[in-house]
Structure 1
Amino acid sequence: MTQAETLIAAARAAAVHAHAPYSRFAVGAALLMKDGSIVTGANVENASYGLSLCAETVAVATASAAGRIREVVAVGVIGGAMDGTGRATGTTPVSPCGRCRQVLNEAAQLGGVNLPVHCGSAEGDAIRSYRLSELLPDAFGPADLGMG
């Protein structure tokens, strides 16, 4: 399997754990770490909508909590409307929202990488791959604050 296929498969497995009772849209994310391990996350919604967390943010927070935010080397994300069993469906690749692009940028700048971002569909084999700099050009981050 390619890097993209591996990350999309891990993101699909993570999306099964999405808590999305309000939007009914499950998202899974997978971060490839420098050592080859994968850290995942799923979206977690809240009745107070603004407190909801995107899958990418959950995955980055998990990596950060383990002291590994500087080790992220690639990202995979999928999403889709949930069926009656809570499984994500759909054949159109989804990409990270603007907030998640910014959160991913933090990890990328701290790690000194231009992250590959693999956007997949919940079902099927559709994958679109980008560099984070394509999805978030002229990004503001730690380097702009003299950090990094």
Structure 2
Amino acid sequence: MAGREGDSEIVDVSSLEPKIQELIKTSVEARKLAYCPYSKFQVGAALLSDENEPVMYTGCNVENVAYGMTICAERTAIVKAVSDGKQKFKAIAVAADNSVQDKFTSPCGTCRQFIIEFGSDVDVYLTKPGSSNVLVTTIESLLPLSFRSTFGH
């Protein structure tokens, strides 16, 4: 273990189970597909469904000159999964390079709420391309007081 940040733990990727290592590598690869001509900030995500036969979905950020229309990598992956009939997720890996601050980049507030919509027990893995370390946390830790429906969903 390399260290702790709040309710999170920084670990070496090689210490994680093979399926999670693959998830993290896939998020790094998805990052390369980002369409970000304005911010130049590439983000990739890989989402693992929570089933007997887990399926992986990828996403990247897709910007628009009208910034409000931009979609984050995490939401791209979730939308792809939901449109394929999946609504339960085990884990999500997010890859971004925040070398300016040398920190792990976590999902934005909108993405946190979007992830927790499909379960508060989703594990979150944050990585930086080229790093052997990953920050391991949960969506509940990232969004402890999330908005919850009163309609029994």
TM-score normalised by length of structure 2:
0.80
1:97 pairs with 2:91: no
Instruction: Count how many residue pairs are aligned between Structure 1 and Structure 2.
Output: 135
Structure 1 residue ranges, 4+ long, deviating more than 4 angstroms after superposition: none
1:30 pairs with 2:46: yes
1:6 to 2, 22, 33: 22
Alignment match, 1:138:
145
- Counterpart of 2:125, as a letter, is H
Alignment match, 1:147:
152
Question: Distance in 2 between the 1:61 and 1:19 partners?
Answer: 17
Alignment match, 1:80:
97
Contact 1:91 1:122 in 2 (8 A): no
Question: Distance in 1 between the 2:108 and 2:132 partners?
Answer: 21
Contact 1:8 1:76 in 2 (8 A): yes
1:91 Cα deviation (Å)? 6.3
1:50 pairs with 2:68: yes
Contact 1:75 1:117 in 2 (8 A): yes
Return the structure number with greater helix share.
1
Q: What's the secondary structure of 2:97's corresponding residue?
A: strand
1:30 Cα deviation (Å)? 0.6
Contact 1:79 1:93 in 2 (8 A): yes
1:15 pairs with 2:28: no
Question: Distance in 1 between the 2:104 and 2:142 partners?
Answer: 14
User: What's the RMSD between the two structures over aligned residues?
Assistant: 2.1
2:78 to 39, 51, 60: 60
Percent identity between the two aligned chains = 32
Gaps of 5+ in 1: 82-87
1:7-38 CA distance string (max 9 Å, x none): 21010111111000000000000111122221
Question: Distance in 1 between the 2:34 and 2:143 partners?
Answer: 25
Q: What's the secondary structure of 1:57's corresponding residue?
A: helix
Gaps of 5+ in 2: 1-15
